[in-house]
Amino acid sequence: MPIQPVCHCSCQHSEGDECYKRKDIHLHVKTAASAPGKIILFGEHAVVFGESSIATALQLRIRVKIEDAERESFNGVYLDARSTPHAFHALRLSGRSGVGISVSSDIPAGAGLGSSAALSVALIRALRPEIEERELAELSYRVELAAQGRASPADTSIATHGRAIYISSRETAEELWSIRGNEVTWHVSHLEMKQIPVVIGFTGIQAATGPLVMKVKTLYEKYKLVREAIAEIGLLTEEAVVALRRNDLVRIGELMDRNQRLLTVIGVSSREIEKLIDAVRPYSYGAKLTGAGGGGCIIAVTDNPERVREAIELRGGSAFITSIYSEGARCENE
């Protein structure tokens, strides 16, 4: 039975847009949403195994527009599970069909800055405009899991909430929600912290997250050294929570350098990453890769961001100075 139009809802759709209602969800002929990218300050890869992680949102965002269409598409390309997995699974898990999806992004793909998670979150927000934050984080994580095969809720949770989050296997007083997957339960909490000066350096090498996550899983199961490194990353992340709350940049930098050494042990650093880290080390409190690794980006905490940017560019990378605080997922007015 076709969905019948209604004109008495309170969903505040744009003037001139028709509005439709199915079950308890208002569906619009046209909706739009956005979500921020992220950096992982501490704990990437280890968080997949239930260890702690700290993530912050960036000002860079992905924007999604949804329109009713006879043929499902993603930026004009037919939608399917192989070529457009995040959009495909977002539609299926949200219960929507018959839409055309248009996407624009400030976030470079494959750079470790959370582009796929931001896409998943923005898609679900656009497909389900009235969804609550807790359900948005859960459903977006399920999209990532379906698209990648293995994931933690760190990226989708920060894209949902914005600002800064702390993920742990333990409950906290600041808990926003908990999510279970891959036989692990993660507790996601808001982390109150001051702005810290960060420069992001992009190696120019794009690396898909899924294969790197699976690589670490294989090494984790095979080698005790990798299991010990993962556990140590979790412990230093706990120390980093205290340092961030105190805004102790010296200690934050020391822990970043230690985290980077452990990421090298588990096999996700690269020659290009190490080259940029070596370039910025004289001008930074600390530096490390951020995200899955294998290329992508580094982050450096510094009081001299322009000098760090220059050092990155002299080594062939691209750099930008950013704010680490940002609003989370939101609906956008047309």
Give the pLDDT band of residue 51 (cuts 50, 70, 90). Answer: very high
The residues spanned by each domain of the chain are 19-193, 198-322
- Is the pLDDT at 11 greater than 80? The verdict is no
Question: Averaged over 80-98, what is the pLDDT?
Answer: 88
Mean pLDDT of the chain: 88
Q: Please tell me whether residue 19 adopts helix, strand or coil conformation.
A: strand
- Reported as a pLDDT band with limits 50, 70 and 90, residue 183 is confident
Arithmetic mean of pLDDT, 168-190: 89
DSSP string, 239-302: HHHHHHHHT-HHHHHHHHHHHHHHHHHTT---HHHHHHHHHHGGG-SEEEEESS-SSSEEEEE-
Residue 90, CB half-sphere, CA atoms under 13 Å: how many? 31
Tell me what the mean pLDDT of segment 315-331 comes to: 88
Across 63-77, 154-168, 313-327, the highest mean pLDDT is recorded for: 154-168
> Does pTM top 0.75 for this prediction?
yes
Q: Residue 319 forms beta bridges with which residues?
A: 201
Mean pLDDT of 254-269: 97
Asked whether 35 and 143 are in contact (CB, 8 A), the reply is no
pLDDT per residue as tens digits for the range 198-243: 999 999 998 888 889 899 999 999 999 999 999 999 999 999 999 9
Q: Is 281 exposed, middle or buried (0-12, 13-18, 19+ CB in 10 A)?
A: middle
Structure tokens at 56: 């912050």
- Count of CB atoms within 10 A of residue 187's CB? 18
Q: What is the mean pLDDT of residues 263-275?
A: 96
Pairing of strands 73-74, 99-105: parallel
- Listed residue (156, 118, 119) closest to 134, CA to CA: 156
**In this structure, how many other beta carbons lie within 10 angstroms of the beta carbon of residue 14?**
13
Phi, psi (rounded to 5 degrees) for 189: -125, 150
Residue 332 tokens read as: 């956008």
Mean of pLDDT values over 255-283: 97
pLDDT-derived band of residue 178, with 50, 70 and 90 as boundaries? Answer: very high
CATH architecture designation of domain 198-322: 2-Layer Sandwich (3.30)
Other residues' Cβ atoms within 10 Å of the Cβ of residue 194: 12
Among residues 155, 248, 278, 303, the one annotated as catalytic is 155
Question: 19-193 is classed in which CATH architecture?
Answer: 2-Layer Sandwich (3.30)
Residues present in the chain in total: 334
Catalytic residue list contains 155: yes
Query: For residue 40, what are the CA distances in angstroms to 24, 87, 154, 155, 271?
Result: 36, 24, 9, 8, 20
Position 170 scores a pLDDT of 87
Question: Looking at the predicted structure, is the pLDDT value of residue 29 above 70?
Answer: no
